[in-house]
Structure 1
């Protein structure tokens, strides 16, 4: 799991947390997409700041994987991404080209590496920290997305995508992505309803182990992937305390006993190979006594479905949830 993102969430400070020289995707000599204006672009970001560009950005650096995924899915391959290797492990919905340069970690991106790429734009999130943003803005425009909002994470995801799309001249592509996402959500909800599974409970978590202690991070009602389940007609069984930005909360195996009185399917992520639910808790008496473990309703998500991503990662989650409840 991604330690920097986890520690940041639990501290309520998301500090780490999650086309090289390319413009449009048209062949030379063809008419450009209507969304790809060649003129100046002004975008108001999550800070309320107007980011002014002389033209849609064609060389972009992304400092968070959700925003990098959005760029790739829009057809605007970033020139640089923070922690390229980690992205490849955790995000499979929109793969990076080999040309994409690594610009450091998400916790500590390298300003020198970013500036050396001479980008038109840097895209980051509000939790990145004012200091790094201010430093970058001495050299390049910075677009700051919201990144997460547990009060409406699906609406926030849409807004972030449209903001980025405007900055790179890909609004038509953004509309298509969101239309496909809505269609997948509607189709998934129908399948769950037709299967008689509407109203069934789910829980989503990831975890990590330090010594003999297993810590568990629960995705509460407002987490992005939780809102997907709710929109499909399911119910999130976790009612514990979560933070207001990401909708995430921390517990331990004893805390999971709060789920024992509900018929729950428990989903979890372990894309980095650190499967603490199978390995770390295999001999834990509390864990093995939980109904969803005894009833074999424990489901590991396929590797590389990013829980803080854009429409394509969200569609991967929809497919997994629908498959679990509707076959």
Structure 2
């Protein structure tokens, strides 16, 4: 009997112990469940925040005011080649571009190329409202001197940004405007960080290139940069001024503009004939032409005035191979690359 009593007491003690252990495990499980619940809640909040960031409304300033953009535009129509280049630099293929053929001719050396699926939406001067509407874009980007008159029509289709690449006297120079517009487009596309990296890499490339030219003894060298073409057998030249994007880029790598115009040129160039080149005979000449124009290869070598200029006699005339002088960061880098090849 006594033995049974002790056995009962032992069994009772074991039950209490097991219950205590069980309670401890339940408490532990309760704590774990609480942690898991808090973690799940945190993850849910993070997911919600990310979604909110993706769809956050942003106000983008441009030449005609401010435009609100929500989310990340997926289908973008651009009505000026420069802004198509900006999209490409940010890793975005536009849905539509004005004058796709012309872009291909002047941007042939820019990679990546426009995708074959990109729709031509008409000319840059007169884009097709019907074609643009059919693409159902999320964003439209145009330029003030061509598209201000149709801004309301475009805005009725999709949020529209209109930029002015040719600031008036006393404002930004064209290069600063290019970077400012590129950053605004990057923000509109939800690619602000990517845009900042593109520009940071470009600035580093300027510094490296300036050092290379200095090492080659070319720092401070005078140059003239021109876009030229043949018009009814006569050579016509755009000589770029200091406020132009092209000359600002060349200044960043240590070159000096030999062409000076006493009058402010809003578009960044003075248009002239062969007489304009006679004023800077000792400068080196960098030129760009369309792929089919033979002004430098055929017309000028037969011109007696041209043949007697120092830069022609000393073979200091360099082909920039059709580079578009009004482009964005990719064109800027390409201009520097080709200038380095020519001068160093």
1:234 aligns to what? 255
1:283 aligns to what? 302
CA contact (8 A) 2:75 2:137 kept: yes
2:4 aligns to what? none
1:41-52 pair list within 5 angstroms? 41-47=57-63, 49-52=65-68
1:3 aligns to what? none
Partners of 2:51 and 2:216 lie apart in 1 by 40
Quick one: structure 1 residues 292 and 112, their matched pair in 2 at CA, closer, same or farther if it must change by over 3 Å? Answer: same
1:183 aligns to what? 204
Backbone CA RMSD of aligned residues: 2.0
CA offsets, 1:180-234, max 9 Å, x none?
1011100011111122211111111122222232221111111111111111111
**Structure 2 residue corresponding to 1:212, chosen from 226, 233, 252:** 233
Partners of 2:51 and 2:336 lie apart in 1 by 28
Quick one: structure 1 residues 241 and 101, their matched pair in 2 at CA, closer, same or farther if it must change by over 3 Å? Answer: farther
Structure 1 portions without partners, runs of 5+: 1-30
SS in 2 for 1:44: strand
**Structure 1 residue corresponding to 2:246, chosen from 201, 221, 225:** 225
Structure 2 portions without partners, runs of 5+: 1-46
CA contact (8 A) 2:230 2:294 kept: no
Quick one: structure 1 residues 244 and 36, their matched pair in 2 at CA, closer, same or farther if it must change by over 3 Å? Answer: farther
Query: Is 1:269 paired with 2:269?
Result: no
1:294 aligns to what? 313
CA contact (8 A) 2:64 2:162 kept: no
**Structure 2 residue corresponding to 1:123, chosen from 115, 136, 141:** 141
1:197 aligns to what? 218
Query: Is 1:64 paired with 2:80?
Result: yes
Q: TM-score, normalised by structure 2?
A: 0.80
CA contact (8 A) 2:229 2:289 kept: no
Quick one: structure 1 residues 195 and 62, their matched pair in 2 at CA, closer, same or farther if it must change by over 3 Å? Answer: same
CA contact (8 A) 2:148 2:162 kept: no
Q: Which has the bigger relative contact order, CA under 8 A and spacing at least 6?
A: 1
Quick one: structure 1 residues 36 and 66, their matched pair in 2 at CA, closer, same or farther if it must change by over 3 Å? Answer: farther
Partners of 1:36 and 1:90 lie apart in 2 by 40
SS in 2 for 1:216: strand
Partners of 1:298 and 1:242 lie apart in 2 by 26
Measured after TM superposition, the shift of residue 48 of structure 1 is 5.5
Which structure: greater helix fraction? 2
CA contact (8 A) 1:36 1:171 kept: no
CA contact (8 A) 1:111 1:136 kept: yes
Q: TM-score, normalised by structure 1?
A: 0.84
1:11 aligns to what? none
Partners of 2:230 and 2:153 lie apart in 1 by 35
Partners of 1:132 and 1:208 lie apart in 2 by 31
SS in 2 for 1:169: coil
